[in-house]
Structure 1
Amino acid sequence: CRMCGAEASTRCSRCKDEFYCCKEHIASDWKRHKRLCIPAEGVQARPITMDAILFPVDEDRPRIVKVPCEVMRDEEPDIPAFSTVHRLNMEEWFDLKGDTFVRPMDLGGGAVMRLPGPGYNLDIAYDDNSLVNGSPLNRCIQSLTRRMAPHSWAGNILARRSEKPLTYCMRYYNANMKEDLPRVVEFFMGYGT
């Protein structure tokens, strides 16, 4: 059983991957399991969303936004336990058809920033071509840092909680404004120094 370790014969009815000893444990584990639950063949997938903190280019305050997420299987995972990956659709906040190159950046220059719970990191998604394509300075970050950030952040920026067990295996968690915003602002203030 995923919850108690007892011998189990009941599986998750959607993915058929997780085992449980009783229906109560299935219900108790659903909040954790649903973000990794990929339907077995023949079962219709349901879309999910992940909360991220949006630092809007033309507003003064950050806000939580719902980012559409596709949960899928990595067909050739290096480690089978990490076969579930999330693919975020960020086209609402980035012009993916223009001269835009959206890339992630781990906060701390690639160092793992541990959050409560195992495997959590913080990262941001930003347009690395903002100087080339003329994106305006991010007014939200300028406001939060009192215009003292050493780097000129431009365009929209999304902050996310992530898990990176492997280089090419990405899974996301819901961001939390109260817990994550101070860490992200600290990153903006220190980047480039």
Structure 2
Amino acid sequence: MLGIHAAGGVSGAHLNPAISIALAVYGRFPWKKVPLYALSQFIGAFLGALCVFIIYYPAFNAFDPDRTTPKSSGIFATYPMKWENQGSAFVCEMLGTALLVFTIFSVDDPTNMPTNPIMKPLTVGLIVVMIGMAFGMPTGYALNPARDLGPRVFSCLAGWGSDVFTASNHYFWIPICAPIVGAILGGGAYIAIISNHHDEVDDERL
């Protein structure tokens, strides 16, 4: 919610490459800006992981001095439960992100019910919490390629090594790809089910 309040008026506060890509796919954001936005989002997540590492460095040394994955690297990136297969993990991340983007498209739609500017960040924050409660256990619910890849790269450089990419049968690609697919599906679902029918509803009301 803080990120949306702070950066919403400057950049739109996407904070997530999957959201930037979904907006671009449906003509709501210029494609030429997507690479820079994605890079900025990755850097932000990387620096966030650096802050966590600095603040909790003594705790890392006490809890896991050998830097094992996912015992302590799971603090930075997401890893699936041991019983999860990649297919179900992909679907979990995809559906969670689809719900998130469906919500974002709905609160940001000027032709929909008017939304108080204060309520937009709150609504998005609450849907993230609810998605976490519903989808969090199987995969840790990344929902955001930058949020997962940035800290994963940092943990690789900070002592956990390449295990962060090979763990759980090379799981790392799923939090990158599944949210992008889910974001496109979620945005498309909102447009197809809701946005395209606003004119019909307005005509019926008249």
| TM-score, length of structure 1 as denominator length | 0.26
Q: Normalized per residue, which structure has more helix?
A: 2
TM-score by length of 2: 0.25
Of Structure 1 and Structure 2, the greater strand share is in: 1
Tell which has more relative contact order, 1 or 2 (C-alpha 8 A, sep 6+). 2
